[in-house]
Structure 1
Amino acid sequence: MSWFPEEERRTTNWFTKFCSNVLKCGPVPKHVAFIMDGNRRFARKSHIQRHEGHVKGFDKLADTLEWCLDLGITEVSVYAFSIENFKRSKDEVDGLMELARQKFARLMEEKDSIQKYGVCVRVLGDISMLPKDVQELISEAVEFSKNNDRAILNVCFAYTSRHEMTTAVKELATGVEEGLLRPSDVSEHLLEKCLYTSHSADPDLLVRTSGEVRLSDFLLWQSSYSVLSFVKVLWPEFSIWHLFAAVLHYQRNYQAIQKGKEANLKDREAAVHQSDHQCVLEEIEKEQVGSKDCKNTDIQSRIRKYRLEREERERRFLDRVYERRRKSLESMLPVKISISY
């Protein structure tokens, strides 16, 4: 099945459109994340091979992306393959890698649709863990679509939050060791910018199917202020009505979540300001100038100067991080592929 909506398989009736329009009258999440759980149980339930259950799961993803586009959801993140999945049987892991080969190859056959819908495909995770040919297919799809901005699809592959956060902390430690950052520059904001999702907003809504009520190491940092919806249906059986119910659940909790986000943002800004203030006072003390002898206006001026210098250090550091990641992805491209589409 195609990654993108096909006119011949659209079956939306008037009542579905009516319900969709009613939901659009309220706040619609811009970014929705899915833990697509239940493919194996669906296979057992349907008396089909486990691999076929995963294929059915991909087909459901294609449907869900269509529903999201119709609702006005412009970014979707999906948990496609956890690092923990490498612990499964060799046959199942091999089957999942083969499915990835087929689907990413199909994606590159749909370049016209990628451009038509303006979809930017990002693959988040440690791609180096994957077979070489899968790395090439993924890097080609990411490179081809990187300038699209109408919609974003984040495929979390060879991913866990613990691995992501560990990688981010290592990036910060390297930045300090190389002299690009000061230890005092390390903050929640800067750590966020080192996560795989650095170019995305946090998910507004996170949906998990199969009835499980845990996040399984998926977007743990990013979902701190997400509305969580746990659906008691296996992923291949997920329907547009389940999506509508999840969006309605989001709308019911919208005000409370927004207040929490705003309060958290203020706290973080205050913490950074306090850190800058403390660093300036420590500099003054090292200069053997008593803080009492400094006029408040002088201190405020130095704080402003320090903040600008810190922001410049952060910019140079993040430029280095993103450039390193860009080169790593380019190194995975097939030799025959030009990176200037």
Structure 2
Amino acid sequence: GTIKPAVTFDDNPVIKETVLPDFKARTSQLSIGFPPPSLEPNVPEGELTEEVVEEAVSRTMDESIDEIVNKTVDETVNDKVNNTVDELLERITELNRFVSYEEPTPDLNRPKSLRSLPFDTRADLLVFADEPNTSQSSDRIIVKSHYGAGLSGQLDEELRPTRSSRAYLIACDFSEESIYAVDWAMGSMLRDGDTLHVVTVVKKKEKAKKRIKLLSEASKKVTEKAKNTLEKMLLFDVSLITYAICGKVKDVLSRLIEELSLSMIICGCKKQSRLKWFFMDSVSSYLIETSSIPVTVIKQQKNKKKKREKRTRAPRLSETVQSGLLAVDELSRSN
């Protein structure tokens, strides 16, 4: 069995200068006759010469030195990383101790909220524009108003709502149910920047002069009702368009649905049984069946009166004793 010669110390000047003295001392001790048998157990005792032992020890020491060097390098790198992290944390901690509270907060360029404006500014905006736009023809009167944008009817560009606007159509015949539907739509569905169309229909059978008078009265009534409800809302930049149109209700609504770009149709529902509502040719059922736009039917919720429970008279003591429901003590029985 031969042993491959290990790398000598002359190959590495650093190891030669630091480890060579110790290596010579150990090999001199081994040459006297105390070679460790664990170095090369496959070498016969007769061939265990000083050169063989020196080569084995050299190789073993090289392996030990590599292991020591690698371990030292790893420890050095870990120490440097830990020291760097500690220094960084210490620096951040020191900086946080001396935060200047006098520095102004940087402007984040966020869009201004209309509800964050001063009260006086909001009060000036929450009004209807001065001049509503009115258009009149032989069979209809249309009034366009703008609310929540001041008397001018125009908001500054930085204050305008950024969300996409929606448009709603409400059918109103001035019944209790339709008025409730108008109130519900303004209070629950409308948002800043939306458009609300409110339409009322006048019968076409009337004569021309009377028809114009009825149209004018209906337009004035529906516009006042819509304005009175809308001015109570905290809404900005809302367009209100009222219609008073002469004709059949279903035909008028069908034409408006085709002409306008709507998001939803809202109508009231009169109080009646489900069976009667199904078989009757009502406007709400007609819209549900024929409209290509979502239809919301609003039913007014009325508070039911609580039934008072009748008080029952408690039986007298003598009656309960006579009937046997109440037992008396033994002393009273014996008497």
TM-score by length of 2: 0.25
Which structure is richer in relative contact order (CA contacts within 8 A, separation 6 or more)? 1
TM-score by length of 1: 0.25
